[in-house]
Homo-oligomer: A and B are copies of this chain.
Amino acid sequence: MHEATWIDRYIVPLVTAPGAARLRDDVALLSASGPMIATMDTIVAGVHFLADDPLDTVGQKLVRVNASDIFAKGAEPAEALLSIAWPNRGVESEFAALISGIACDLEEFGVGLIGGDLVGTSGPLTLTMTLTGRCINTAPVRRSGGSAGEALFVNGEIGWGGVGLRAAQDGGPAEHAQRYRVPRISSLFAAQTVADLATASMDVSDGLLLDGARLAAASGCGLEIDLGAVPLASPTENTSEIVSQCTAGDDYRILLSAEADKAVSGFTAIGKLTESQGLRLFHHGQLVNAPSTLGFEH
């Protein structure tokens, strides 16, 4: 790899934001029209994606795990900085595939690439993105704004991360594996809903039960979840199979709290925040023991 050549060939063509000076400078001027937020996620081959995942899908995942955080806070993705630690024996065609996936989803989510770094490594492919976002309101919607009595909502389906990973590892349905490799995430429409209605919000990345417990704890509440109400990747009446999908993680859906009588377009009510602390699970009105592991911390 010759960094400067690869940057010119693959990365500079993605750069259009005037503040980025076509990557010909040392820093980017950040755009800022109102309150801005930032998130940073790193994904490592063999940890956050499979070492044999096609690299265009890895590039898409990198953008999505970051954009999901921005949407979940009631904000619009704005500008990205990208760091690639590229394995010393990696070939240029693979690099081009990675960049094509990144480019595809930067465009999909309206993100301008404004800077970053490209280095060689003796280790696994390691990708880091810093993504900024423009708040729709004057501040991001935090995890901590919920109150007892409010309802808990989620959009999309929960469990695709786990169902899809199994398919990718065991040669299951290709469309399921694809849901692991390129997670479906929320859109600006959902971010607008968060900004309009949510008292607390976050993306579900480590498992619905774990992230739900975190949102409730940050809000000083406990929570109840009706397992029968959770929209699932693989619908089932089997309680332990539901719990499995609710703890698998890699969902990248939005979990939010809102006033209980609100209709939240595109979201499904799955429970409520409570005064008494801790997590209580119900299925068909019966209390269900919470699993010992609520999710996947990574």
Write the residues of chain A forming the contact surface with B, with a CB cutoff of 8 angstroms: 2-4, 21, 24-30, 32, 35-44, 46-48, 69-70, 72-73, 75, 81-83, 85, 114-117, 119-124, 126, 128, 130, 132-133, 135, 139-140, 142-144, 202-203, 218, 297-298
* A116 contacts across to B, CB distance below 8 A: 40
- A138, chain B: closest CB distance, angstroms: 10
* A21 contacts across to B, CB distance below 8 A: 142, 144
* A122 contacts across to B, CB distance below 8 A: 46, 123-124
CB of A26 within 8 A of CB of B44, answer no
CB of A27 within 8 A of CB of B128, answer no
Q: Top 9 closest A-B pairs, CB basis?
A: A123-B123, A130-B130, A40-B81, A27-B37, A30-B36, A42-B83, A128-B128, A42-B117, A27-B39
- A122, chain B: closest CB distance, angstroms: 6
Q: Which residue of B lies closest to A218 (CB)?
A: B24
CB of B124 within 8 A of CB of A29, answer no
* A298 contacts across to B, CB distance below 8 A: 3, 119
CB of A140 within 8 A of CB of B24, answer no
Bound complex: CA A123 to CA B88 (Å): 12
CB of B144 within 8 A of CB of A26, answer no
* A218 contacts across to B, CB distance below 8 A: 24-25
- A223, chain B: closest CB distance, angstroms: 17
CB of B128 within 8 A of CB of A83, answer yes
Highest count of chain B CB atoms <10 Å: which of A26, A39, A40, A126: A26
Residue A117 contacts which of B70, B120, B128, B202 (CB distance < 8 angstroms)? Answer: B128
* A115 contacts across to B, CB distance below 8 A: 38-40
Supposing A85-B42, A117-B42, A120-B47 touch, asked if A32 and B32 sit within 8 A by C-beta, the answer is: yes
CB of A38 within 8 A of CB of B47, answer no
Residue A121 contacts which of B3, B41, B123, B144 (CB distance < 8 angstroms)? Answer: B123
